[in-house]
């Protein structure tokens, strides 16, 4: 069975629960952002990403790292090279328009 990557918030909660902290989860997330980010990104190693997982990665970079939607294709390509992960074959996924144009909900 193929294991899906976990969201950044799920990883933060796992780390938060594994060590007794006296601070709030929000403060913990800010304080340990680098550790949580490393754990999130390291999941990409040798993975074949699903469209959903690509959205998770893109949302992480846009919300946590202030990457513009127009730069997401470059980020995905860099990650695919660095972590040997495969991006799904979806028409336009590596174009600026894919990440900047709203798509209808299903």
Instruction: Delimit the domains of the chain by residue range.
Output: 8-100
pLDDT of residue 22: 67
Rounded to 5°, angle at Cα 93 from 92 and 94: 90
pLDDT score at 83: 95
Share of the chain above pLDDT 90, in %: 52
- Report whether 44 contacts 5 (CB < 8 A): yes
DSSP 8-class letter at 4: P
Average pLDDT over residues 53-70: 92
Q: Which residue has the higher pLDDT, 16 or 68?
A: 68
Query: Mean pLDDT, to the nearest integer, of 18-42?
Result: 79
Residue whose C-alpha is closest to residue 45's, from 83, 72, 3: 83
Contacts of 98 (CB under 8 A, 6+ apart): 73, 90, 92
Q: For residue 29, is pLDDT > 90?
A: no
For residues 72 and 54, the answer to whether their CB atoms sit within 8 Å is no
Output the pLDDT for position 1: 47
């Amino acid at each position: 069975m193929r294991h899906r990557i976990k969201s950044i918030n799920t990883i933060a909660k796992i780390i938060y629960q594994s060590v007794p902290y006296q601070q709030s989860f929000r403060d913990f997330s800010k304080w340990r952002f680098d550790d949580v980010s490393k754990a999130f990104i390291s999941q990409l190693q040798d993975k074949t990403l699903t469209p959903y997982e690509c959205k998770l990665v893109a949302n992480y970079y846009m919300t946590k790292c202030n990457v513009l939607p127009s730069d997401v294709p470059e980020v995905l390509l860099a990650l695919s090279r660095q972590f040997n992960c495969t991006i799904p074959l979806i028409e336009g996924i590596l174009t600026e328009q894919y990440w900047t144009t709203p798509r209808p909900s299903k």
